[in-house]
Amino acid sequence: MIKKLIFLLAFFAFSNAFSQSSTELGDDKYRPNMGQSGKDVIWIPTGNELVAKMLKIANVGPSDLLYDLGAGDGKIAIAAARDFGARAVGIEFNPDMAALGQRNAERAGVANKVKIIQGDIFKEDFSKATVVTLYLLPELNQQLRPTILKMKPGTRVVSHAFDMGDWQPDAEIDSPAKGYFWIVPANVSGEWALDSFDSKSSTILNLSQKFQYVGGNLTLGKKTQPILNADLKGDRLQFSYIDDMNNLRTVRLSFNGSNIKGEENSNYMIREFSGFKR
C-alpha cells in the first residue's frame, strides 16, 4: 500500500518535476536525489509553474506567514517570500535538506523572511500560519486534517496532488499537475440569537455545518424559514432569506468565537446587528 502511494506521488510529480533544471538540485555541500526517502514521504520537488499557481490561488501576500510542511529544498517558502513578499517557514525532517533549504534562501536573498527548520511536521507548531502548503501523501493529509481544521478560520491551505478526503476543496488547479485549495471554515454550527435584527420580534439562527457547507433555519418571530444560498468563507457567512414583504434579503455575518457581528443592506442603508451563541 505504502509503495503504491509512493508510486502515485512520483507519478503525479512526473509531469512537472522534470521541467526543473537539475542544477537546482542541491549545492556543493549537499546534493539530494529526486525520489530519495524521507521520514514519512520521499522528496520530489514541486515544479516551478505549479509552485507559482499554488501561491497565487492562496492569494499569498506581504501580510502572510506561510508554512510549507515537508519543505524539501525550501522552494515553496522561498518563492512565497521572493515573488509574493510573504514571510515563510519550511519544516523539513532531513537535516541536510533543511540546511540546503536555508542556504537556498540566502542565495535567493530572502533569508530575512524565510526560515527552513529541521523538524517533524507532526510535532512542530504551525498554528500561526496564515497559509499552509503541502506535498505529502493522502494519509498524511488526513492525519494533519484535524490540526488544520482547528487553525484560525480563514487560513488558506494548498496541497499539491492530494486531497483531504471528504473535506471538499474550495478550488482546484488542473495543470501542470493537480492542486487543491481550501479555506479553513469557522465553527458556526449551533443556535445563535441575533440582537436588534428585527425591532418587532426576537430572531434565532439555527445552523448546521459540514466543513464549509452550511444550512439552517432563521426564525423571525413566529415564522421559521430555511436560509438560502449560504456561503461560508473562513469566519464570514453570507445567506439570504425572504422577509415579511416577500423580498429576498441578504445578510452578512462574521463569527468570532461565540459572538457574531452582522449587517444587512436594507432600503439602501446598511443595518448592523450583533448576536451570540445560545
Ligand X SMILES: C[S@@+](CC[C@H](N)C(=O)[O-])C[C@H]1O[C@@H](n2cnc3c(N)ncnc32)[C@H](O)[C@@H]1O
Note whether 54 binds ligand X by CB under 6 A: no
Alpha helix locations (H) across 108-234?
Answer: 138-149
Note whether 93 binds ligand X by CB under 6 A: yes
Note whether 179 binds ligand X by CB under 6 A: no
Only segment of 66-74, 109-117, 146-154, 165-173 that touches ligand X (CB under 6 A): 66-74
Q: Using CB atoms within 10 A of its CB, is residue 193 exposed (0-12), middle (13-18) or buried (19+)?
A: middle
Of 16, 44, 155, 157, the residue at the interface with ligand X (CB under 6 A) is: 44
Amino acid in position 241: Y
Whether the Cβ atoms of residue 159 and residue 134 lie closer than 8 Å to each other = yes
Compare residues 100 and 232 and give the one whose CB is closer to ligand X. Answer: 100
Distance from C-alpha of 80 to C-alpha of 253, rounded to nearest angstrom:
31
Note whether 86 binds ligand X by CB under 6 A: no
Of 91, 214, 220, 237, the residue at the interface with ligand X (CB under 6 A) is: 91
Compare residues 48 and 189 and give the one whose CB is closer to ligand X. Answer: 48
| Residue among 145, 144, 140, 262 nearest 195 (CA) | 262
Only segment of 88-96, 176-184, 186-194, 198-206 that touches ligand X (CB under 6 A): 88-96
Compare residues 30 and 211 and give the one whose CB is closer to ligand X. Answer: 30
Of 16, 43, 203, 241, the residue at the interface with ligand X (CB under 6 A) is: 43
Of 89, 97, 194, 218, the residue at the interface with ligand X (CB under 6 A) is: 97
Note whether 39 binds ligand X by CB under 6 A: yes
Note whether 57 binds ligand X by CB under 6 A: no
| Residue among 7, 81, 85 nearest 42 (CA) | 7
Distance from C-alpha of 49 to C-alpha of 70, rounded to nearest angstrom:
19
Note whether 105 binds ligand X by CB under 6 A: no
Note whether 101 binds ligand X by CB under 6 A: no
Q: Half-sphere exposure (CA, 13 Å, Cβ side) for 145?
A: 17
Q: How far is the CB of 8 from ligand X (least distance, A)?
A: 11
Distance from C-alpha of 251 to C-alpha of 15, rounded to nearest angstrom:
45
Binding mask 143-162 for ligand X (x = CB under 6 A): -----------------x--
List of E strands, 19-165: 65-69, 87-92, 114-118, 131-134, 156-160
Distance from C-alpha of 161 to C-alpha of 67, rounded to nearest angstrom:
17
Distance from C-alpha of 63 to C-alpha of 206, rounded to nearest angstrom:
34
Whether the Cβ atoms of residue 24 and residue 79 lie closer than 8 Å to each other = no
Of 106, 120, 191, 195, the residue at the interface with ligand X (CB under 6 A) is: 120
Note whether 164 binds ligand X by CB under 6 A: no
Distance from C-alpha of 234 to C-alpha of 127, rounded to nearest angstrom:
15
- Residues lying near ligand X in the complex (CB under 6 A) are found at 38-41, 43-46, 68, 70-72, 75-76, 91-94, 97, 120-122, 135, 160
